[in-house]
Every structure is written in structure tokens, then in C-alpha cells.
Structure 1
Amino acid sequence: MKAQSAASLHWERHDEAVPRGTGFVRRAYGLRCVGLAMGCFLVQTVLWSQHATAVTRLFVLAYCFAWPHVGFLLARHRALPGKAERRNIYVDNFIGGMIVVAMKYSWLPSTLILLMFMMNNVAAGGGRLLARGALVCMMGCTAGIVCFGVAFDWGGLSASTIASAPMLIVYPLSLGLVTHRTSLKLAARSRELKRLNERDTLTGLLNRATLIARLNARLQTRVDESRVSVLFIDMDGFKAINDSLGHQCGDALLAEVAARLAATIDDTEDIGRYGGDEFVIVSVRAALSDVTALADALIEAVSHPVSLNGTNVQPRMSVGISTSPDHGKDAQTLLTRADSAMYVAKRDGCNQPVMFGCAITSAQAHIAVG
């Protein structure tokens, strides 16, 4: 299990290298455009009835129709788009506080505006973002007082209006908090199901289907000057170890080897368990010398002894290498030729890498070790 955790840690780091929150930014952009456009009509109506200055109206117009696009561009190009979008939400809270002051605290419009922003906070970050947003909103109110002065226009307040306040404010926020917590649980469950669907249960590496899909994706996005290489790995003498020490020790050895392989490659490379004691690595290293150096490093990393129920075993493995575009342009061809090169490595003494060449054919390689 320790080895499996080490292999899984590689994939956590790999996933973290990819910007997260891009979908969140896109969804927030659409909702912000619609919400602020609708809110603008409400606020402008209130400001017109209060004979607000042209500067105040232009400020609201600029915020409602320019800020959504500016905020989207700022968040989308950040290394962490989700974090940047939460900063955009704080901007909404701050401006919302200023607008409440500009409307002279008109009761119902102010309540609706603040509720809209606070619901957004709840949906994006639950109670913590709600509390922080409320604080930022109060800061916005202070800035609004500086910019627009202090004036009150409560509008008509009746007993029924006051009695409606808890239902209007508390219930939507409470419902939003419950919905947010439920969505977090569903998202966590979805991520776990996705991980189980894509990973090998023993090693924590990519399974065969997912690995082939990623190899195809790499090949489709390959540009003319780039290279995609396949390293096909097969453990030497694994059957004898598995038969003599038992399947439990064999599984422990596979998990340990997987962890060592995953720790040796970098975050730009994919590794998966192809089946049995076979592993495949997809590399985008540009120079062939770097690819063969990676194969040598993998063999060295795996070669250290492993203790299995008191018995020291020294893992060995053969590595076959194929590369695109030199040896093929589709996943199946590259895998077949890397597999052929691996069999030649076994024929010529094992525990070494072999690059596929025109002299190697699949039939010759299998006959050589047959």
C-alpha cells in the first residue's frame, strides 16, 4: 500500500500541474453577465428615481457591462483560474457595498442586490466565502460613503415588509449552504469514481485504456518538430518470483516497481500498467538520447533489492522503445514496435533498453525469445 500511495502521489502532482478551475471561470462569467445585466436595470431605476448624478449612473453601467469581461480575462489567464475567480467575487462584494450606499440604502433593492452577491459567495465557497464576502461588502460600504456621501431613502416600510425579511434573506442563504455542501460531496464522489475508472487498482497507475487514450491525445497534438516516444517495459523473471514466493509477494513487487517508475519520470510523462508485469511510459522528450537516458534511469531505479517476506529480490526489466514520427504515427503501431524492441532486449540478455529499428520485426522478436 505504501508503494501504491507513492505512485498515486505522482499523479496528484501531475494533475496539479494542470490549471484547475477553468470551467468554474466560464460558468461564473455567464452568470455574472446575466446577473449584472438584470441588476443594472434595477439599480438604474432606483438611481433615476433618486435623481442620482450622471457619474454615479455611469459607474454602475461600467461595472455591470464592462467588469464581467475584464474579470473573465483576468481569471482565465492566471495559473490558478479558480483562485482568481474567487478574487473576482470579492470585487463583486466590494462594488455591491458601494452600490447599496449609492442607492441610499433603499431597503428592498439593497436587500436584493446584497442577497444576489451573497448567494454567489455561498455557491462558490460556502460559509467561509460568505463570511469573508460580508466583510468585503462592509468595506465597500465604507468606500461608498467616501465617494457618494451618506443619505437614506428607505422607501415604504410596512409590517408585512419587515416580517418578510427573514424568509427573503435567511432561507435562500441556508438553502445555498446545504446545496453547496451537497455539491462538494457529489464532486468528491465523482472524482473518486473517475480515479477508479482510470487507474489500475494494484499500482495506482493509469490503466491500459486510459494510457492508450492519452497516447492518442499526445499524437494528435504533436507538432512537426516534437517527438512522442513509447517505452514498453517488461519485468525479467517475474513469473519465477510470483510462482516461488506467491501471488501476494508478486503483487507487492509490482506495486513497488510501479512506485519507482513513477518517481523517476517527470510530470510531462504518462505511465500506466499495460497488463500483468508490463508497464508503458509515454514521453515527449525531444532528443532520442534523452529518451534512452530515461530508460537507463528507469532500469537503475528499479534494480535496487526489494524485501519480500524476508527474501531479497533484485528486480530486472527489459525496455523497448519506439518513437513518433520515426517508427509510426499511431498508438497501436508505436506500442507494437516498442513491444518488439522489448523482446529483442530480452533475447540479447535482458535488463537493458533497445530502440526499435528497421532490422526488428514483430515476428523476429517473438521467435527470438520463443
Structure 2
Amino acid sequence: MPLKAIADDLAQSRRRFVQRIHRMRSIGLGLGMLCVGSGLYPTQPAPALWALLAFNGLVWPHLAYWLARRSDNPSRTEFRNLTLDSAMGGVWIALMQFNLLPSALLAVMLTMDKLSVGGSKFASRALLWMMGSCLIVSALNGFAFSPHTSQFAILGSLPLLIAYPLSIGIAT
């Protein structure tokens, strides 16, 4: 097989990887926005936090895709984007004041998707980013802790709990 064909094959494989991650990120962060929103609501967040949540759930998936597609190394850029996804998960867990169900669900789903993409080594590294960002934001938020989960937060978590694992299963 000529070198050009091998290079084209590799480029095609990287594009498919970026496209697959884009689909999964769009589903996960879109449904995650409902989960986080339902856990964030009782904390009476400032409008800027609602705007950040909307950006993270609706805009970031497409911006991450755009960055990866235009990168010299799309796979490396995508792994960096996935790490940022985990770090933002830590931010949301802290801002939800550790609301039990949405926080646990977010941590598990973000770790599961890293396992499915990059194995245990990558998942461990992303989990460290999640825990680090959670610790920093929690400290900035006065270590606020309110683990009670309302019926509203349970209902807001169900779409992510049901649809995202099914999507991961179909994709893998």
C-alpha cells in the first residue's frame, strides 16, 4: 500500500473519531445540561451561571468539534477537549453543592465515556482534572454542601441516566 494511501486512511480514521466524539458530546452535554440544571436550580444561581451552563451544553460541543477538525493533530486536540469536559464536570458538581444524584451521575457518565474512548489511563487522568476543578470551585464557593436530591433533580437526571449509556453502547 503506498504511503499516500496509508496517510489518507489515517486522516479518515481521525475524522471519524472526531465525528463520533462530536455526536456523543452533543448528546451527553445536552442531556447533562438538564441534569446539572435540575441540581443547580435550588442554589439560585446567578444568570451568568445559567449562561455558562447553556454554553457548555449547547455551544461547546460544536466549538470542540470545530477546534478538533482544524487541528494538525485532531486526536490529540479531541483528548484535550475530553479532559476539559471532565474538568467542567467537576465545576458543575461543586456549583450544584454536591447534590447527590446529579453529582454522582455526572461523575460516573464522564468517567464512563473516558473509559470507552481512552481506557483506564485516560479515564484516571480525566478524573484527576474533574476532582481538581471540583476542589478549586468548591473552595471558591465556601465548600457549600447540600447533598439532598429533590424529585425535580431526580426527574432532571433521568434523561442522562437512560439515554447516554444507551448512546455509548450503540457507538461502541
Q: Deviations over 1:220-258 (max 9, x none)?
A: xxxxxxxxxxxxxxxxxxxxxxxxxxxxxxxxxxxxxxx
Residue identity opposite 1:37 in structure 2: G
Choose between structure 1 and 2: higher helix proportion.
2
Q: Which of the two has higher C-alpha Rg? A: 1
User: Which of 139, 161, 177 is residue 132 of structure 2 equivalent to?
Assistant: 139
Choose between structure 1 and 2: higher strand proportion.
1
1: CA distance, partners of 2:47 / 2:124 = 33
Q: 1:42 to 1:91 in 2, by over 3 A?
A: same
2: CA distance, partners of 1:54 / 1:144 = 17
Unaligned runs of 5+ in 1: 1-7, 157-167, 184-370
1: CA distance, partners of 2:19 / 2:73 = 14
Unaligned runs of 5+ in 2: 150-160
Q: Tell me the CA shift for residue 117 of structure 1.
A: 0.7
2: CA distance, partners of 1:124 / 1:99 = 22
User: Which of 46, 63, 74 is residue 56 of structure 2 equivalent to?
Assistant: 63
Q: Tell me the CA shift for residue 148 of structure 1.
A: 3.4
- What is residue 103 of structure 1 aligned with on the other side? 96
2: CA distance, partners of 1:78 / 1:15 = 19
Q: Secondary structure at the match of 1:21?
A: helix
Residues 256-275 of structure 1 correspond to what in structure 2 (within 5 A)? Answer: none
- What is residue 77 of structure 2 aligned with on the other side? 84
Q: Tell me the CA shift for residue 14 of structure 1.
A: 5.9
Q: Deviations over 1:94-113 (max 9, x none)?
A: 10000000000111110101
2: CA distance, partners of 1:127 / 1:25 = 20
2: CA distance, partners of 1:61 / 1:140 = 19
- What is residue 186 of structure 1 aligned with on the other side? none
- What is residue 40 of structure 1 aligned with on the other side? 33
- What is residue 114 of structure 1 aligned with on the other side? 107
2: CA distance, partners of 1:110 / 1:48 = 13
2: CA distance, partners of 1:76 / 1:140 = 27
User: Which of 15, 30, 33 is residue 6 of structure 2 equivalent to?
Assistant: 15
Q: Percent identity?
A: 26
- Normalized against structure 2, the TM-score is what? 0.78
Q: Secondary structure at the match of 1:116?
A: helix
Does residue 66 of structure 2 align to residue 73 of structure 1?
yes
Residues 276-355 of structure 1 correspond to what in structure 2 (within 5 A)? Answer: none
- What is residue 208 of structure 1 aligned with on the other side? none
1: CA distance, partners of 2:142 / 2:27 = 29
- What is residue 27 of structure 1 aligned with on the other side? 20
Residue identity opposite 1:54 in structure 2: P
Q: Deviations over 1:21-59 (max 9, x none)?
A: 110110111111111111111211221122222222222
Q: Deviations over 1:187-215 (max 9, x none)?
A: xxxxxxxxxxxxxxxxxxxxxxxxxxxxx
1: CA distance, partners of 2:68 / 2:136 = 24
Does residue 123 of structure 2 align to residue 130 of structure 1?
yes
2: CA distance, partners of 1:89 / 1:95 = 10
Residue identity opposite 1:15 in structure 2: I
1: CA distance, partners of 2:104 / 2:49 = 19
1: CA distance, partners of 2:105 / 2:66 = 27
Q: Tell me the CA shift for residue 143 of structure 1.
A: 3.2
Q: Tell me the CA shift for residue 128 of structure 1.
A: 0.9
- Normalized against structure 1, the TM-score is what? 0.38
Q: Deviations over 1:290-346 (max 9, x none)?
A: xxxxxxxxxxxxxxxxxxxxxxxxxxxxxxxxxxxxxxxxxxxxxxxxxxxxxxxxx
2: CA distance, partners of 1:114 / 1:81 = 25
1: CA distance, partners of 2:21 / 2:121 = 18
Residue identity opposite 1:95 in structure 2: M
Alignment length (residue pairs): 152
2: CA distance, partners of 1:16 / 1:135 = 34
